[in-house]
Chain A
Amino acid sequence: MAGEQVEKRVKYKSSVKDPGTPGFLRIKEGMLLFVPNDPKSDSKLKVQTQNITQKFTKEGSNKPPWLNLTIKQLLGRSHIFEFENYPDMHACRDFITALGKSDEEPKKAAVLTSTEQLSIKELEIRFKLLRENSELQRLHKQFVESKVLTEDEFWATRKKLLGKDSIRKSKQQLGLKSMMVSGIKPSTDGRTNRVTFNLTPEIIFQIFAEKPAVRQAFINYVPSKMTEKDFWTKYFRAEYLYSTKNTAVAAAEAAEDEELAVFLKPDEILARETRQKIRRVDPTLDMEADEGDDYSHLMDHGIQRDGTMDVVEPQNDQFKRSLLQDLNRHAAVVLEGRSIDVDSEDTRIVAEALTRVKQVSKGDGETTKDANQERLERMSRVAGMEDLQAPQNFPLAPLSIKDPRDYFESQQGNVVNVPGVAKGLKRNVHEAYGLLKESIVEIRATGLSDPLIKPEVSFEVFSSLTRTISTAKNIIGKNPRECFLDRLPKSTKDEVLHHWTSIQELPRHFWSSYPITTPYLHTKVGKLKDAMSNTYSKLDAMKESVQSDLRHQVSLLVRPMQQALDAAFQHYEADLQRRTAKSSGGERPNGYV
């Protein structure tokens, strides 16, 4: 069962009334993952699949296909997924049932699925890529879901995309959302006095970052003194007390319950941090220093009640915390960004990591010399008036855009990406095909060698293909804005572009499966060939259907695609013939099917 998984499009509902968030549900061993389509949505879900009980709507009843999963260890929370159709739901249901038993079952070695255990992280990256790139999503849908390609094959050719993404991730971390945590409103069921808070790791992170005292309390109390659930219940009880602004009740409750008091008391860790930070503040806006210099407002000096000053409510009340303070604190934390690199589910790990980070930065506070120096330098730089002096020459990295058109192409989206240009290979289409043919001939003559086709050759084929179509886009209209494609009806244009991307995709897999060394590859090539001939006929159909005045241009566009496919077919036929000949000869070279 390892690595086996089910993936369906679903809508996730936190309650029955919830309209639902569209996204993917992916179930694999031990893990149930829901990724919403809208990356901004916070209803991302990840749960362990142990101890799941499920309820579902019956086919034939008027209800949509719903699957209700209740996870026992998670406070008995239930998750409802609405599927697109019943078969999808049944597949998921069966899978989960199978998972429940799988502990006893001996693990079958899967033949067709890859044994590569995908980490959740990788899955998330893939989902993210699919979400961000609709083109890719379409391809994925077309080929993977129609079983032309398997999931892994599809991604194998995009390792770079995955890899690059992970590099980018390590370089620049995701910022925090500006929204306040206090913005999370509890959901009520309307009948009882119960309220439910939905806590996501994101929210927990924010609470911990904004309220070090809560973080410390968590480390101290959980799990030795109370469970995580109790902890958060207490926390929200305290938040509720704040929101009522009834300090007397808060004080009374705090007196009774010392753990609750922790949340209600002013944050001492925060106060310490503040004292530390104030020393490093830019002297040109240090208003605290000002206060220290203000002798005219010595006790009871100056004017007290002339109306310029507001009526200050007693601030010494320790159970009072203002919205304004919260806002400032929140913004400061957002600005600081995600300072830890822990992407863990475990709340405790997050809490500890945050504490560590804070301690390190405190250690940095000792060596403020450099910071001071830098601060002073900045001050003197800013002190000057910018337009009275000669412009300061900051080091600039020159923008190297050779052909402005390339630049705008790449900005237009991922539709046109031009790999060949940078290499400066200037061979035309015919030369490229010449090369390809040559090598095919060569293969025919010498039989199968390894590698079957020189990588340069296949690269050539691809790059020329790409170039033809992207230049076709521009050459026809002198102005790139009036490119030919835009003159086509939108549907045709989309179709052309889509076919083009799928033709990029399919032959890539096709060529990479040679030499055929396993029965698996054999079936794969067969499937690919079918898909390609399918596309081929579609291209033909399209050519026929366009208006006559455009037909010439369209056929120009389509020709290289068809040529590429032709080359593939040719090779396939040749290979097939050769192999039948060989097998009829009865001689099977070692390792070849």
Chain B
Amino acid sequence: MIFKIEDVTVYFPYDNIYPEQYEYMVELKRTLDAKGHCLLEMPTGTGKTIALLSLITSYRLSRPDSPIKLVYCTRTVHEMEKTLAELKVLHDYQVLHLGTQAKILAIGLSSRKNLCVNTKVLAAENRDSVDAACRKRTASWVRALSTEKPNIELCDYFENYEKAAENALLPPGVYTLEDLRAFGKNRGWCPYFLARHMVQFANVIVYSYQYLLDPKVAGIISKELQKESVVVFDEAHNIDNVCIEALSVSVRRVTLEGANRNLNKINHEIDRFKANDAGRLLAEYNRLVEGLALRGDLSGGDQWLANPALPHDILKEAVPGNIRRAEHFVHVLRRLLQYLGVRLDTENVEKESPVSFVSSLNSQAGIEQKTLKFCYDRLQSLMLTLEITDTDEFLPIQTVCDFATLVGTYARGFSIIIEPYDERMPHIPDPILQLSCHDASLAIKPVFDRFQSVVITSGTLSPIDLYPRLLSFTPVVSRSFKMSMTRDCICPMVLTRGSDQLPVSTKFDMRSDPGVVRNYGKLLVEMVSIVPDGVVCFFVSYSYMDGIIATWNETGILKEIMQQKLVFIETQDVVETTLALDNYRRACDCGRGAVFFSVARGKVAEGIDFDRHYGRLVVMYGVPFQYTLSKILLARLEYLRDTFQIKEGDFLTFDALRQAAQCVGRVIRSKADYGMMIFADKRYSRHDKRSKLPGWILSHLRDAHLNLSTDMAIHIAREFLRKMAQPYDKTGTMGRKTLLTQEDLEKMAETAVQDMAY
């Protein structure tokens, strides 16, 4: 359908639209008009993504003189693929109605591991070795050397891409990762470098959060984006965690040992160069005197991770004199490693601010703050000069330099915590020095500063006023949308007791009580026998899930479950989990039905949808609180209290409930879909916990469903499922429109005009 929102003609690829989608677009358009940032919470299952894509691309079409670019950030690669699939539908629709002028170039961008088509490179085990294997074939000095020595292996795809030079362009269209690979294979061009090259020309870029937030990556990938870009963070309920993770580094003993080995190798290389090619080291020295700004001279393929330190002034400053010479720099690093080694040798937990850490480093090892700040760049420069390609082996020293640069750059918002062992396993000595970031606004600040509009959106952003504080920005629009339901297609329940009336909870003192474990098991046994197709269970942690499944296996509960449905489980092995999910879907497709056991805060909870028959019931076992004794968490809570006046308890509850809401919120995809949610813990019946759930779940949580036992829940589930099986009117009943047609929208526009006239 095609309709107008104020002066923008919106092309929407479906015949109908939800009223909340329309409102969402209106708010979004105001944000774009105001060139400001916004925060929008809209329930899952109301088509956020398509509304967003549709409005922004239409907005672009209506302003041909100042085309905006859309940078769409997703949490995961599979969400990226989903977004691109929706964009394809939209693009086809727009081209159909507008012809070639609507054509855009949209690409997904990922790492070499996901884009490479060279089978020899792909044979490498993990991402780092794929990166290294690629560099081994594409680095400029390797290619230069190969003209002399023909037995050096190069990558044909990269060579062809280089040969095509400026002609290597992608024709307009929407490219998923798979499409990019297919295109690259077809033309013989490297898809990875092609995609990176096309970032500056593309109208829509879809990639992972960290390509914008993590300074290590952002510097290379995202530096060419213009200010007139709209940045969207989808599923952004965890954005604060992503931000603080991007700026946190830790050092272990193995890191130090590895770093020492790296330095030995670097020393060796330096000696070799001194003997053969002293000129190179001299050239580097001269370049460093002039400042790092000249880094840009290096050709594109040779850059790797950029500076994690964000301030721009660092590029203009010259590198301090004491680390300009390669061997001096290695000496400084040796001293740093030694100092860190001493600090790791502690008996007690130590907590320190970066300022005091830097000053004691200065007094004991003689390394100044300014020197620390440049460590990262100095190392990169050195590695380029020494023509090191197997970068994956040099990760330890890079980690140490990251650490040094961060400590040297930020005086506040961080703390250094040294722990001799993990307190959950005190018998295993495993000292660790952690530099942990507490302030989420540090990593996202440059994004807010650089781009004209930043949209933060998710299904769960409650309480919506907390996010601007955590990320310290001022949104021009901040709204939470309700969901207008055609029928009560979600059925949240709070289960507090088992059939034997004993309370159930994952509170620490209760969780391993055999009665609780049995009641949790019985709940599932009963549920799998009445719920069709897919059932998903979330547990509070891996270890808890491991334990409870083992107990169920011993007591025969698992066997009873398996009589009804197949069982699939998320494990810590990603490959296995992916296959388990794939099988789970097939089991749901073929009608056999299955149960999926997963973990809140795990990878599955983060990004996999259990919509339609893939999830008719979600059981959330317990309240997924963080491990409250963690030193890092305590430090963060303290920081939040001091800086933002957020109470510890409030933050913990907020965090646990947003995770729970995130887990259960994945059952609904559209208003035609339906699903049940069971919160199985007595603590959910308390108002202070429950009220933190997003409004669209709360509005369906009836008072009668707040304190249920297993048998009552079974009864309610039966009733609900029977009700959902009845035919219903999609467009809504009783004067409440839940589905709008073209006509409805035109009428709305008319009345709006009339309102203005009077």
Contacts and interface: CB of A to CB of B under 8 A. Distances in A.
Given A305-B434, A385-B14, A290 B562 contact: no
Given A295-B216, A323-B549, A308 B47 contact: no
B526 interface: no
B670 A335 contact: no
Contacts of B590: 335
Interface in A339-390: 372, 376, 379-380, 382-390
Contacts of B110: 289, 292-293
A459 to B, nearest CB: 40
Contacts of A382: 85
A302 B627 CA distance: 17
Given A178-B562, A307-B629, A278 B578 contact: yes
A304 B432 contact: yes
A296 interface: yes
Given A303-B244, A331-B567, A379-B81, A295 B592 contact: no
Interface string B565-576: 111110111111
Contacts of B582: 277, 281-282, 285
Contacts of B399: 298-301
A321 B173 CA distance: 47
Contacts of B573: 315, 325
A387 B543 contact: no
B685 interface: no
B412 to A, nearest CB: 18
B571 A311 contact: no
A334 B217 CA distance: 43
A298 B400 CA distance: 12
Interface hub of A274, A323, A327, A390 (most chain B Cβ within 10 A): A327
Chain B, interface residues (CB within 8 Å), range: 35 or more
Interface stretch (B28-36, B507-515, B630-638): B630-638
A390 B15 CA distance: 7
A328 B114 contact: no
A389 B436 contact: no
A580 interface: no
Interface in A66-106: none
Nearest to A331: B566
B42 to A, nearest CB: 14
Contacts of B568: 327-328, 331
Interface string B540-563: 011100100110010000110011
B579 A328 contact: yes
B672 interface: yes
B464 interface: no
B111 A388 contact: no
Nearest to B50: A385
Contacts of A285: 78, 578, 581-582, 585, 608
A372 B424 CA distance: 46
Interface residues of A, number: 64
Interface stretch (B245-253, B316-324, B717-725): B245-253
A90 B291 CA distance: 105
A318 to B, nearest CB: 14
A305 B419 contact: yes
B580 A328 contact: yes
A311 B629 CA distance: 14
Nearest to A311: B424
B603 interface: yes
B16 A303 contact: no
A389 B510 CA distance: 49
A376 B592 CA distance: 24
Contact of B210 (A275, A295, A388): A295
A389 B541 contact: no
A120 interface: no
Contact of A386 (B111, B549, B604, B672): B672
Interface hub of A175, A286, A315 (most chain B Cβ within 10 A): A286
B583 to A, nearest CB: 5
A466 to B, nearest CB: 35
B701 interface: no
Nearest to B542: A310
A159 to B, nearest CB: 33
A429 to B, nearest CB: 44
B752 to A, nearest CB: 23
A306 interface: yes
B542 to A, nearest CB: 4
A220 interface: no
Interface hub of B17, B85, B88, B542 (most chain A Cβ within 10 A): B85
A289 B630 contact: no
Given A282-B585, A290-B78, A306 B632 contact: yes
Nearest to A388: B14
A332 B583 contact: yes
Contacts of A302: 245-246, 248
A30 B508 CA distance: 63
A70 B613 CA distance: 52
B571 A328 contact: yes
Contacts of B113: 289, 292-293
A528 B565 CA distance: 50
A293 B80 CA distance: 11
Interface string B592-604: 1010000001011
A282 B609 CA distance: 13
A322 interface: yes
A328 B597 CA distance: 10
B577 interface: yes
A334 B630 contact: no
A388 B255 contact: no
A311 B542 CA distance: 9
B214 interface: yes
B697 to A, nearest CB: 20
Interface string A528-560: 000000000000000000000000000000000
Given A308-B601, A328-B579, A291 B546 contact: no
Contacts of A296: 210, 213-214, 216, 242, 245-246
Nearest to B211: A295
A301 B402 contact: yes
Contacts of B578: 278, 281, 285-288
A244 to B, nearest CB: 14
Interface in A140-189: 175, 178-180, 183
Nearest to B566: A331
A284 B248 contact: no
A299 B252 CA distance: 10
Contacts of A385: 14, 47, 50, 669-670
A247 B224 CA distance: 54
Contacts of A388: 14-18, 47, 670, 739
A39 interface: no
Contacts of A383: 82, 85-86, 88-89
B628 interface: yes
Interface of A: 175, 178-180, 183, 274-275, 277-278, 281-308, 310-312, 315, 322-325, 327-328, 331-332, 334-335, 372, 376, 379-380, 382-390
13 contacts: A178-B565, A180-B562, A292-B126, A298-B395, A299-B255, A300-B250, A300-B396, A303-B244, A307-B629, A323-B553, A331-B568, A335-B587, A387-B670
By Cβ-Cβ distance, the 6 closest A-B pairs, closest first, are A307-B627, A292-B113, A307-B630, A388-B14, A387-B672, A383-B85
Interface of B: 13-18, 47, 50, 76-78, 81-82, 85-86, 88-89, 110-111, 113-114, 126-128, 130, 176-178, 208, 210, 213-214, 216-217, 242, 244-246, 248-252, 255, 305, 395-396, 398-399, 402, 419, 422, 424-425, 432, 434, 436, 541-543, 546, 549-550, 553, 558-559, 562-563, 565-569, 571-583, 585-587, 590, 592, 594, 601, 603-604, 607-608, 626-633, 636, 669-673, 730, 739
Given A287-B608, A305-B434, A311-B543, 17 more contacts: A275-B575, A281-B582, A284-B82, A286-B81, A288-B578, A292-B113, A298-B216, A303-B245, A305-B631, A305-B632, A311-B422, A311-B425, A322-B571, A331-B580, A331-B587, A387-B16, A388-B47
